Amino acid sequence: MSTPDRLLYLLKTRGPQTAQALAEALGLSAMGARKQLDALADQDLVSFEDKREGIGRPARHWSLTAAGHGRFPDRHGDLTLQLLDGIRSLFGAEGMDRLIAEREAGARRHYGERLTGLDSLGDKVQALAELRNAEGYMAEAVRDGEDWLLLENHCPICAAATACQGFCRSELELFRDCAGEGVHVERIEHQLSGARRCAYRFSEKTR
């Protein structure tokens, strides 16, 4: 992966970053990172915002533009939107609900096979992250105290989810089923609501 692509990847997975933080993550000099970022800005792939953090000069935080996010493409795109419009026109809301339910059922079977035999919450969330990674979600499992977070830094079905938010509701229900009755699952960040990613918190109910 080229240095510009690695910079874009870090901004995608970590959110806004300073040139210094990016340089340290990639083993570059701060000047080298700034030159790369300036070149990416010229291509309209990144932008920056100066934020004051205590005393001294404001710190420059770099983030992806819409074009930068577009470098991590939606797998479904225009064709999926056309298909969804066709299903809605031919079969109405009920047909769309049946489509989403069938997709959810297939994922539940697939995920269930992977999670079989896993008892701890951490093992389950890490397995879910691996499954979602394979589907293009750039997912990671992160421990947060006694809870676990499933972070999805990219949404490969964003176009479909934007057209029909039933896909998002379905995925939340899927995670709840996979986690089991003793686990509370909530979505704490939602890309379609303006967040840079989707994030889910898994908490054991017995605490």
Residues 67-97 have pLDDT tens digits of 888 777 655 555 455 656 665 666 666 766 7
Instruction: Please tell me which of 33-42, 78-87, 166-175 the model is most confident about, judged by mean pLDDT.
Output: 33-42
Torsion angles phi and psi, residue 14, rounded to 5: -115, -10
pTM over 0.75: no
List 186's β-bridge partners, or say none: 201
Q: Please, which pLDDT band fits residue 137 given cuts at 50, 70 and 90?
A: confident
Q: What are the angstrom distances between the C-alpha of 185 and each of 34, 107, 121, 169, 172?
A: 40, 17, 11, 12, 8
pLDDT at 185 over 90: yes
32 is written with which tokens?
Answer: 């080298």
Delineate the domains of the chain, giving CATH numbers in brackets: 3-69 (1.10.10.10), 77-204 (3.30.1380.20)
User: Using CA atoms, how far apart are residues 148 and 142, in angstroms rounded to an integer?
Assistant: 6
Torsion angles phi and psi, residue 146, rounded to 5: -90, -5
74 is written with which tokens?
Answer: 């939606």
Helix locations, the chain, DSSP H: 3-14, 19-26, 30-42, 66-69, 77-115, 121-134, 158-163, 166-179
Q: What confidence score (pLDDT) does residue 84 get? A: 60
Q: What confidence score (pLDDT) does residue 196 get? A: 84
Q: What confidence score (pLDDT) does residue 15 get? A: 86
Q: Please, which pLDDT band fits residue 122 given cuts at 50, 70 and 90?
A: very high
